[in-house]
Structure 1
Amino acid sequence: MPEFPNIILFAIPFFILAMLLELYVTTKQQIKTYEAKDAFSSIAMGLGNVFLGFLSKAIVLLALFWVYNNFRFFTIPITWWSFILIFFADDFSYYWFHRISHESRLFWASHVVHHSSQKYNLSTALRQTWSGGFYSFVFWLWMPLLGFHPAMILLQMSISLLYQFWIHTEAIDKMPKWFEEVFNTPSHHRVHHGSNPLYLDRNHAGILIIWDKLFGTFQPELKNEKVIYGLVKNIDTYNPIKIAFLEWGNMFKDVFIGKKSLKNRFLYFIKPPGWTHDGTGKLSDDLRREWLETGFQSESPKEKKF
């Protein structure tokens, strides 16, 4: 078992210093990105994620080792070129995990936490799920099957998470053009956090934006379409417990309450957010199409009634 450091724990002092620097810079730029209650909620979600991570990571490691020890096709050595391979393999896995987290309500129930803030700053990056770590790892199980060592996989997952910290900011407008073409940036990720119909379910990248361009989910940030952060229907709470589990409760209500077939009850787990068995719900594609058909309407997504 190779020993790699827990880089997330080592990065915590950097997170704090970076948030203080961002607060100073955005204040100078007269950009109001921080609200005390919202930031403290995000930090609380991050701390909860770290504490629960000791348990979830143990489960993840056991699952990865079970596949690696019993079913792997090859054995990929831990060397310089295997870290290049795992960089792309992990980023590809993250793209599909992230995309499915927006397209399946079971995964959205945990991922919605990260989108629940109506502010966008470095503290938003810390607003992490308390439940997703216990099952989202299924998107990475093909990697130990191929022969990547579980320790390498966990290390690369942490590297990806660290990279994504800095892109949660309004202090940076655009990176150089070549960088914007290849990598995920603050501009690309602001789009991802937008509740504007045009921006919904776009830019799922981890480190490389190329996956979104390859699979048709890329949307550039437009100067004439300012990002409105948060959800189509915001939860309006700073309570970490509610933030962590509110959507789970809503999903289970849709599954178990009311008259509906067993098939439709099951579909509430796998269909996208907004789907309803009676056809009255609206998906992100429906909202985007309506918005485009009306010619960049002035109506805010928050004013829509569902």
Structure 2
Amino acid sequence: MNHSYLLFCTVAGVTCALPLAAVRQVVGMVALSPETYGHPGAAGTMNLHGRTVPVYSLRNLLGLPDRPPLPTEVLIIVSPDRDCAALRVDGVRGVQEKAVPPDGDGTGVLLTDDGTVLIRDLHALLAGDAIGRLPRLPADEEAPPETGAAGAILANRARVIGEPEEEPRETALSEILTFRIANREYAVETRYVREAFIIREITPVPGTPDFIAGICAVRGEIISIVDLSRFFSMPERGLTDLNRVIVLSDGTMTFGILADYITDIGTTPAGDLAPVGPDVTPIGERYLLGTTESSQIVLDAAAILADPAMVIRETRK
């Protein structure tokens, strides 16, 4: 059984996961043009910087109740092959490494024991092979949304994302996972993210620095949990039900960091980050790679993992 990094998303209260390797980017929902070819699950088409991209509703593909699009929804741009398509979902939750069994029944999806719809084959999913093949999913009932203001927002987004890119060129992209700490959005490169999960029981360890929240068991491995808000002297919110643990690893050092919640996953041009301005964050320059066009502060995960302060010895007090 292979292990893969998966992007977790939701539709109608149902958690779904698809291979991160097939994800190109995540964008906000836009107004769609109607499709005319009658494909199962088709929601319409979008103009992505001058390119017409088919959009599929994951609700329709899974046989869930449909609804008009909302500005809070997102589009996951995927590339199962040379072509690309977009999956319309309610939102994204984050990235996690999971075991992915082979697609034995040809539907492209599997309903796991915890109720997650695991997408194993995007080709089969987009072909509509899963429609009517899954057990009845416990979808949440949702009230009909108001569409007046929503339509204007979606139309404006469609106009912006349909504009040609100013300088079309091949640019190396870095995948980043974004999250919030102390009411500010930060990000790390996903190549350093082993997994992310809702906070579990953390066991305090006496004698450790105050930025060590404790230790936690992750699939039989005991790892330290670092509170970056304390490590970098940031305002603290305390632990809530929204807290997530993001496990960072470089192959040598592994520990988890606390985040208020995970906001998104996407890409940013590598080496094209702007310097972080003064007084924007209390985090020192040595731990920063820069800031994205969306004002997300990208942390240098390699520098954080290599910091000697993160090595906790039994004799340390």
Q: Please confirm whether the aligned pair reaches a TM-score higher than 0.5, indicating the same fold.
A: no
Normalising by the smaller structure, the TM-score range is under 0.3
**TM-score normalized by the length of structure 2:** 0.23
Bigger Cα Rg = 2
**TM-score normalized by the length of structure 1:** 0.23
Structure holding more strand per residue: 2
